[in-house]
Amino acid sequence: MGRFNGVGNPRFFARTGPHPLAVVAAAAGCASPPSDILLTGLAALGAAGPDEVSFLGTARHAAELERTRAGAVLVHPDMQAHVPCGSRRLVTADPVGGWAQVAALFHPMPCVAAGIHPSAVVAEDAKIDGTAEICAQAVIGAGAEIGPRCRIGSGAIIGDGVVLGPECRIGPHVSISHALLGARVYVYPGARIGQEGFGFAIAAHGFQTIPQLGCVILEDDVEVGANTTIDRGCLRDTVIGAGTRLDNLVQVAHNVRIGRYCAIAALVGISGSAEIGDFVVVAGQAGFADHVRVGARAQVGAQAGVMSAIEAGAVVVGSPARPAREVFREIATLRKIARKAPERKAPAHGANGREKAAPNERV
């Protein structure tokens, strides 16, 4: 079997093109230098050839840019002088965003193939738009509604009454119950949405389960990573705001409210009834206690333990989570103390393993 060393292995990714330089520049939202070159695909700076397009995302790779053979390069205005003479400059204030658009030009998302696979199980009263695709062995429950141009992956289970807005993509082996999804919601393989939350009372005879009577609401353009779990609410809905992206293996408990355009990295755990404002960024493995509130545009560091409210715009790290400047100041102080402390020599030991006595010291 041959190995493919470029970007977008044709075994897995369909490619369009070649595209004229002017079309690529238009996709990136920038002006095109005069050239009739045709570009066939994408590549990293170090691997790109004369018929491929690349980009510089950070000045740290300026030396690599100077050596590139790429036919065209997306660069920030501050870095355009580093583009070699053989490459065309596509100058943009946002090279990474432009690259995303160019990548979508060459490798657009696969189209939905409308229809229901013969092995799928669909309830008689389910409403499925004629433009939707239901893949092999998917299950669509009673009263469920599947909107236009949705795609339900193989083995996915859409429970009774679930509603999916237009252009949702549900990955293989996802299960969704007690949920309402907006438009263009993407749920990646293995995610679990709408199951009962971790709610119970401690009674004399043991645990007494508390009915979880809320739903899960995923607003427009939400993305839910692989094997992430979102519990339905108990007395109110669990809500994920528009544009928010959850990484793989995130746990969202019952009654949680997450605002718009948040980014939450892998292995984060959010306890019940926590509220997270808009545009919050949470790094991996952070944990949130129940009922805590996080203000808009706050940033929570990796492995932070959020046990109390965080103000809007704050940057916190550590466990318990505290302002980053305060924590780093304390670390610097401890380092200074450690450097100034005199070294203690390890005691010498005799042949029998016992510590030797100092001269004139009685044992």
Q: What are the structural domain ranges in the chain?
A: 19-106, 174-322
Please report, in tens digits, the pLDDT of each residue of the chain (363 residues total): 555 656 888 889 999 999 999 999 999 999 999 999 999 999 999 999 999 999 998 888 899 999 999 999 999 999 999 999 999 999 999 999 999 999 999 999 999 999 999 999 999 999 999 999 999 999 999 999 999 999 999 999 999 999 999 999 999 999 999 999 999 999 999 999 999 999 999 989 899 999 999 999 999 999 999 999 999 999 899 999 999 999 999 999 999 999 999 999 999 999 999 999 999 999 999 999 999 999 999 999 999 999 999 999 999 999 999 999 999 998 898 888 888 877 776 666 665 656 555 555 544
Q: What is the pLDDT of residue 8?
A: 87
Catalytically annotated residues:
254
pTM as predicted? 0.88
Which CATH superfamily hosts domain 174-322?
Answer: Hexapeptide repeat proteins (2.160.10.10)
Q: What is the chain's Cα-based Rg?
A: 28
The CATH H-level superfamily of 19-106 is MurE/MurF, N-terminal domain (3.40.1390.10)
Residues with Cβ within 8 Å of residue 198, at least 6 apart in sequence: 231, 253, 254, 272
Q: What confidence score (pLDDT) does residue 7 get?
A: 81
| pLDDT value of residue 268 | 98
Residue among 287, 214, 300 at smallest CA distance from 252: 287
Residue 164's nearest CA partner among 140, 152, 149, 147 is: 147
pLDDT recorded at residue 95 = 95
Tell the residue number behind the tokens 């108990």, with chain if given: 234
pLDDT in the model for residue 363: 42
32-to-28, 68, 75 alpha-carbon distances in Å: 10, 19, 13
pLDDT recorded at residue 255: 97
Round to the nearest angstrom and report the end-to-end CA distance of the chain: 77
